[in-house]
Amino acid sequence: MISRRLTLTAIAAASFATTALAAEPVHLGVSIPAATHSFMGGINYWANQAKKDLEKQHKDLKITIRTAANAPEQANQLQDLSSVSKINALVVFPFESAALTKPVAQVKAKGAYVTVVDRGLTDTSAQDAYVAGDNTAFGRIPAEYIAKKLGGKGNVVALRGIATTLDNERMDAFNAVLKNYPDIKLLDAKYANWNRDDAFKVTQDYLTRFKQIDAIWAADDDMAVGVLKAIDQAKRDDIKIVFGGAGAKGMVKTILDGKDKRIDADVSYSPKFIYDAIKLTAEARLKGEKLPPTTIIPSVLITKDNAKDFYHPDSPF
C-alpha cells in the first residue's frame, strides 16, 4: 500500500490518479460517530462545515450526513444511505473497525466509492481510499517524550481508546519505544473509550493498585481530563507527567499558560481531517477521479514553544 505523508496544504493540492470513469453528479454519504466527546464534537463540526462549503461550491454535489451512537446504529445507517438515499460515494469514520467492515463492504459492493477515515477497517478491500492522522507518531511521540522526561526510568500506565486498528497502531508504537528503555515499566494499559468518565474510573483503579506511578499516557485530551480529576481526588503527588493527545484547545491553553506542571506537552491530531477527507473525495468524484490509496496527515509534538500555532479558541475542540 502506498503511503503519502502530506501536510494539510499539500493535501489540498494533491493530484489524483485518474480513471476512465465519466464525471457525474455526486451524492456523497458521510457516516460518523455522534458527538459523544469533544473530539467527536470537532468531527461533527467539521463534517457539517464541509457540507456547507462544498454544496455551495458545487451544484452537482449533494452531501448527506448521518451520526451514530454505536456500531449497530452506524451499520443500519450505512444500509439506509446505500439503499434509500442511493449514495454513489461514501466517507465513513467507523465507530469500530471489525463491526463496520462488512457493512462498509456492502456499500462498496453496490457501486459506491468508499473513503475510510481514521479508524481503519479490518479488511482494506472494503475501501477505495484511507485518510487518517499519523497514528504511529501519535503513539511514538508521547513514549519518546515520557522516556526522556523520566530519564529512562520509572513506572507508567496507559489508557487506550476503543478497540480499533488505529488504537492498535498507537499502542504498538508506544510499546516499541519503551522496549528501548528496560528501566521503564508499563504497569497496565486499559481501554477507557476516549471518554472522560471512563478514564476517571480506569485511573481510580490504577491509583488503587499501584502505589508509585511516574507518568500516565492518557492517549486523548478528553481522557486526560478524567485522569487529572482522579489524581486530584486521590491527592496523589507522585505522577510527574500526564500526556494526552490530539491538541484540544483546553490542553493547548494549559501548555501555553504553564498552569499545570504535569501537562507541558501534547501531540497534534486535528478532527479537521474529516473536512479534508470529504473535500478530497467529493472533488475527486466530481471529476471521475480516485484518491491515493492512503493519505496520512502528520502528527507533531506540541510544546510551549509552538503551542500558539495549535491554539484555536473558536474551535469546538
Contacts with 293 (C-beta within 8 Å, 6 or more apart), sequence order: 1, 2, 128, 129, 130
* pLDDT for residue 247 is more than 50: yes
Find the mean pLDDT for residues 283-311. Answer: 94
Q: What is the CATH number of domain 4-134+271-299?
A: 3.40.50.2300
**Burial tier of 59 (Cβ tally within 10 Å: 0-12, 13-18, 19+):** exposed
Cα gap 70→268, rounded to integer Å: 26
Find the mean pLDDT for residues 155-167. Answer: 93
DSSP 89-155: EEEE--SSHHHHHHHHHHHHHTT-EEEEESS--S-GGG-SEEEEE-HHHHHHHHHHHHHHHTTT-EE
* pLDDT for residue 238 is more than 70: yes
Cell of 264: 507541558
pLDDT at position 1 is: 41
Sorting pLDDT into bands at 50, 70 and 90, what band is 314? confident
Return the minimum-mean-pLDDT range out of 118-122, 179-183, 187-191, 221-225. 118-122
User: What does the pLDDT look like over 95-129, one tens digit per residue?
Assistant: 999 999 999 999 999 999 999 998 889 999 999 99
**Burial tier of 300 (Cβ tally within 10 Å: 0-12, 13-18, 19+):** middle
pLDDT, mean over the chain:
91
User: Could you give the residue range(s) of every CATH 3.40.50.2300 domain in the chain?
Assistant: 4-134+271-299, 135-267
Superfamily classification of domain 135-267: Response regulator (3.40.50.2300)
Q: What is the model's pTM?
A: 0.74
**Burial tier of 98 (Cβ tally within 10 Å: 0-12, 13-18, 19+):** middle
